[in-house]
Structure formats: C-alpha cells, structure tokens
Chains A and B, each alone.
Chain A
C-alpha cells in the first residue's frame, strides 16, 4: 500500500475558548478522494487552512508526502494545491497572467505548454487575455481549478470546487478530477455541501461536528449503516445533532 499523501494526527486548533478543531486524525492515500463534510462551523475550512500552512495548529502534526509541514513548509506545499470559492485569483491580472505567476511560484516545468493545456481543459482559452475580475463566477471557479492543477499536485484540496458552476460543467470538472486521481498520482481532500456530488466522487467521507470526526466511511453505504436513506438525510441528522449540542467552531 502506498504511503499517504496527507497524514493528519491529533490536529487541534483553539481560538480563545473555542475548540475549532479538536484532535482530528485522518489520512488521504494516492488515488483517493476523501470528502470532508459537516455543517457550517464544524471545522472543515479551519482544517483545510492548517493543511495549507496558512493557519498554525495548536497541537498535532501534518505531513504531506511524508514531509512535516511545520518543519519544512515550502517543500511540503510544493506538491500541494488548492481551489476554494472564497479565494479568487487576483482580479487585476488576466487569466493567462494568473496562471503564469502561480506556475512560476510552483516552479512548473514547461510552463507555457502546461498553461495552454489547462486553458483548453477548463475551456478558458477564449478568456486568456481577460482580467480574472470580470469573469463570471463560474469562469472564475474554472480558473481557480486550472490554477490548482498547474503543478500536477500530489495533494489537492478543494473547498466547494463546483460551486457557481452549472450542472453540465460541474459534471465535466468532476470527471476531470476523478480521471486525474485515478492515475494514482494524486489524493484529494474535497469539501462540499452538495451530497449528490460527494456520493458521486468521494471514495470515503469524514463527517466533522464540533471540530471532531463523528462519522467516517463509504458515502454509498454510510447512510444505511446509520439509519438514513441518503447521504443528504445523514448530513441533516448530523447537523441537527450539532445544533442540539449548541456549539460552533
């Protein structure tokens, strides 16, 4: 079995008196898409931010491809990339300029060729000279995904990756990412509130509530194991339990 591309052990983040993430451990293997689910405030984005190195954990360890993020942040993140709806690329650069700048940050070999490839894959070629800020939200999401694939990441973090995209484009993008992952090259940590998408794409899901993993398993069998008909129903049940406990993270 291949070593995990992401290994998270006893991860915790405390903001004042609030435990946003509370002793979370999980891993993502190469060729695997892991869904990180949970109601708003469960700790999903906090977890992703810690894996991205932009938020220091209070406790715990994160290793990307076996490299400890705290000890060697730059090396650990060189094989990582991400796309998130709340992190649009600079709107005052064109599509192509954005891809070139971020490609250079990731030191991508044959960058011009890689940019052309991604412009074609994400149907952005006609927008190459358009400033990112004037693209529609769906086009900006596609640009964010193109940026996320620039360095052919070993670990890909996707926070609501198909938000703002029409169903047809979203299906194409899911298929593209799934195809990329099937090569066994990459592992994905995927957050979404679209349970249909999660069920279609993810090999395994982790349910977060109050900063803790409360459920873990195959999204196709997990609902039945916990008395719910669908993943959507299970999500609602977990979310209501979270509200019942009155916490927020």
Chain B
C-alpha cells in the first residue's frame, strides 16, 4: 500500500472538517445531548430506586460506549458518502488508488474523528455526572477496542451497501446501530432477552462488551475469555466487510456502476 495515496484520502476528509463547522459540530453535540439526557435520567433513577444499584456507570456508561461505536461507524460511512455526494468515484478510482488504500484512508479518518469524540464524551461525563472511566484503568481498553473494531466493520459494511444500492441506501444505513442495539444488550443483561434474541446476541461482538462491563461495574472479575471471543468475532466481521466491499467494487467495475454512479443509475 502506498502511504501518499492513503494520506490523500485522509487529507480529503481533514479538509472537509477544517472548512466546515457543520461537520465538526455533530462530533460533539450529539454526544453532549446523550450525556445530558441519560445523565439526568440515571440521576433520577438513583434517587427513586431502592435497589443498591448505581445507575450512572450502568446506564450512562453504556450510552457512552454505544455512542462511541456509533461514532466510529458513522465516521467511516460519512467519509465514504462524501464521495457519493460529490460523485467523486470516477475521479478517485480512475487513478492508481487501490481499494485497500481507499478503505484504509476512510478508516484512519474515522479513527481520528471518533477518538476526538471519545475524549470529549469522557471529559463531559466526568465533569457533569462524575462518571470516571479512568477508575477502571487499562482494563477498559480491550472493551473499547472490541467496540472500535465492530464500529469499523459496520462502517465498511454500510459503505459496501452504499456502493451497491446507491445514495438512497442512506435510509437503510444510518439506522443500523439502532437495529443492532436491542440485541447487543446495551442497557440490560442478555438474560432478560427471549431465546431467539439471545441467539442473535451471541454473534454480536458488542453483547460481550456490555455483559463484561456490567460484570466489572458490579465488582465481578472481567470475563476475558468471552471478551476475547467477541474481539475475534469483531475482527472476523471486519475482514468479511472488507471482502464484501471489494466484491461490490469488482461488480461495480464490471457493470460500469463506478463510472455512472448517481441516484438515477443505481436501482
């Protein structure tokens, strides 16, 4: 892979962020809104609940981690859709740029934006509601890493859908995290789910993260074996998503879709 070409893809996204406050704003604002909403809800639940449960790390922590996954996915997908909206495929793909370099560039750009978002959400949650992720120390890193890889895999999968189905596929793509969340057990233990939903949860990496985090928060040892399995699943999904994107790209080259990509030419 050529470093200059990967840097070009990253730089394109960086230029867009630099010249457009409306792209930077959502990195912070939706995170802040979620923290406020769920922060006050958890504070209220703490005040009315007789159970000796601290809802702040259980719910607010879950919201932050789920937001992180969503930001990572959206980072990849938004970077891809910038090329959809500007009809830039012909310009990009009629060059020496390889698909692997293009995807790597999208992913690096998404890493930057989501890392910034993560820092902002952690600082804001601590300042506003006293939720300190730092209290969990380095043990938190593997959990975040699994969510991170899952977010990238979802982002690449969504980009492949966008390339195959056209710009209108946005309607399908943006709700993907919402569709996944009930099965991932973000806000509740998987034990409360019916059997068929638990079967789906078993193949979703985030479900291992949130089950593990609940164990850690309640003082139990972290289930590293299960988390490692979730991490393996996330990596497998990332490989599959990249293969899917490459396959869709090859189809687009065969059918001429890349050269004629627009809302009108894609069914």
* Interface, chain A (partner B; CB < 8 A): 15, 45-46, 49, 52-56, 73-75, 77-78, 80, 82, 84, 86-94, 97, 100-107, 131, 147
Mask: chain B, 1-27; 1 = CB below 8 Å from A; 0 = not: 010110110011001100110000000
B90 at the interface (CB under 8 A from A): yes
- Given contacts A55-B259, A92-B86, A94-B19, whether A104 and B8 have CB atoms under 8 Å apart is yes
Contact A90 B86 (CB under 8 A): yes
- Kindly supply a per-residue 1/0 record for chain B positions 75-107, scoring 1 wherever the CB is within 8 Å of any chain A CB and 0 otherwise: 000000011001111111111111000000000
Q: How many residues of chain B get a CB closer than 8 Å to chain A's CBs?
A: 33
Q: How far is the CB of A142 from chain B (nearest CB, A)?
A: 16
| Inter-subunit contact A100/B259 (CB<8 Å) | no
Instruction: Give Cα A82–Cα B20 distance, bound, in whole angstroms.
Output: 29
CB distance from A221 to the nearest CB of B (A): 33
Minimal Cβ-Cβ distance residue in B for A46: B256
Number of A-B residue pairs at CB separation under 8 A: 98
Return A228 CB to nearest CB of chain B, in Å. 32
List, in ascending order, chain A residues with CB within 8 A of B91's CB: 87, 89-90, 102, 147
Give bound CA distance, A131 to B16, whole Å.
11
Interface residues of B, Cβ cutoff 8 Å to A: 2, 4-5, 7-8, 11-12, 15-16, 19-20, 82-83, 86-98, 250, 253-256, 258-259
A67 to B28, CA, bound (A): 48
Contacts A77-B96, A82-B94, A101-B11 given; does A91 touch B86 at CB 8 Å: yes
B256 and A53 contacting across the interface, CB-CB below 8 Å:
no
Is there an interface contact between B96 and A92, defined as CB atoms closer than 8 Å? Answer: no
Question: A74-B98, A92-B86, A101-B15 known; A55 and B4 CB under 8 Å?
Answer: no
Q: Are A56 and B254 in contact (CB under 8 A)?
A: yes
- Residues from chain A with Cβ under 8 Å of B83 in the complex: 90
Give the contacting residue for B15; candidates A45, A86, A97, A147; CB below 8 A: A97
* CA gap between A79 and B8 in the complex, in Å: 18
- Which chain A residues lie closer than 8 Å to B258 at the CB level? 54-55
Does more than half of chain B's interface fall in helix, strand or loop, or is it mixed?
Answer: helix
A97: chain B residues at CB < 8 Å are 12, 15
Pick from A84, A86, A87, A106: contact of B96, CB below 8 A.
A106
Instruction: Select one of A53, A75, A94 contacting B93, CB under 8 A.
Output: A53
Contacts of B97 in A (CB 8 A): 74, 105
Residues of B within 8 A of A147 (CB): 91
Contacts of A75 in B (CB 8 A): 96
Residue pair A101, B12 in contact (C-beta under 8 Å): yes
A156 to B103 CA separation, bound complex (whole angstroms): 27
Report chain A residues within 8 Å CB of B95. Answer: 77, 102, 105-106
Enumerate the 8 nearest inter-chain pairs by beta-carbon distance, A residue then B residue, closest first: A104-B8, A52-B94, A90-B86, A74-B96, A78-B96, A49-B259, A87-B90, A107-B4
Contact of A104 among B5, B86, B256 (CB under 8 A): B5
**Cα–Cα, bound, A113→B107 (Å):** 30
- Can you list 14 contacts pairing A with B, beta carbon distance less than 8 Å? A54-B94, A54-B253, A54-B259, A74-B98, A87-B91, A90-B82, A90-B91, A93-B12, A93-B16, A93-B19, A94-B19, A104-B8, A105-B96, A107-B4
